């Protein structure tokens, strides 16, 4: 056990000597050198400000800062590291799948359009079926309802004749192949 402890202490000493102390370290349960960490954070903010341009970063106060304020914002760092011509992963996906960006909007549009057509069809069928009762209840609509029922009946007769011709033609084709 003593050998393992010595080796662990030696490794820790080597790591401490290799790593520059840019940020605060916590050897025990207390914080060490918040002033050194604050100066490192100030240096990082100054570097980001120089990379961004003329906009100066606010100077930190002398009182201790919160630990999360000691580190620079990761999004700011990433934005300065990317080249302006470099493609972002989200942009790649949008270019590869242009329809999927508006997929939810088109699905909603299709759903509402389909529902509207089905609602209109149900209203027209209900009107056709209930035409005699509606004409009794509202005598002023009798002529319009009679015309509507006659038009639907004519469409049903035409559809029956067209389907009869199509079935006869298909039977003729099927019979011609087998004979």
Using the predicted structure, report yes or no on whether residue 44 has a pLDDT greater than 70.
yes
32 — pLDDT class (breaks 50, 70, 90): low
Across 48-71, b (16+ Cβ under 10 Å) vs e yields beeeeeeeeeeeeeeeeeeeeebe
What mean pLDDT comes out for the span 27-52? 69
Q: Supply the mean pLDDT for the chain.
A: 78
> In this structure, are residues 131 and 149 in contact, taking their beta carbons and an 8 Å threshold?
yes
pLDDT per residue as tens digits for the range 113-151: 999 999 999 999 999 999 999 999 999 999 999 999 999
pTM of the predicted structure, to 2 decimals: 0.39
What mean pLDDT comes out for the span 13-22? 71
179 — pLDDT class (breaks 50, 70, 90): very low
């Amino acid at each position: 056990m003593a050998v393992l402890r010595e080796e662990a202490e030696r490794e820790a000493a080597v790591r401490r000597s290799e790593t520059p102390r840019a940020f605060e370290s916590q050897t025990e349960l207390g914080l060490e050198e918040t002033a050194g960490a604050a100066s490192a954070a100030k240096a990082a903010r100054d570097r980001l400000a120089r990379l961004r341009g003329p906009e100066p970063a606010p100077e930190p106060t002398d009182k201790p800062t919160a630990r999360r304020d000691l580190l620079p914002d990761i999004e700011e760092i990433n934005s300065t590291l990317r080249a302006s011509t470099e493609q972002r992963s989200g942009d790649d996906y949008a270019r590869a799948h242009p329809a999927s960006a508006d997929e939810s909007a088109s699905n909603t549009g299709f759903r509402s359009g389909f529902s509207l057509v089905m609602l209109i069809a149900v209203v027209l069928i209900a009107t056709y079926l209930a035409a005699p009762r509606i004409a009794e209840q509202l005598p002023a609509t009798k002529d319009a309802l009679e015309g509507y029922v006659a038009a639907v009946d004519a469409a049903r007769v035409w559809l029956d004749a067209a389907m009869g011709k199509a079935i006869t033609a298909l039977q003729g084709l099927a019979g011609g192949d087998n004979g």
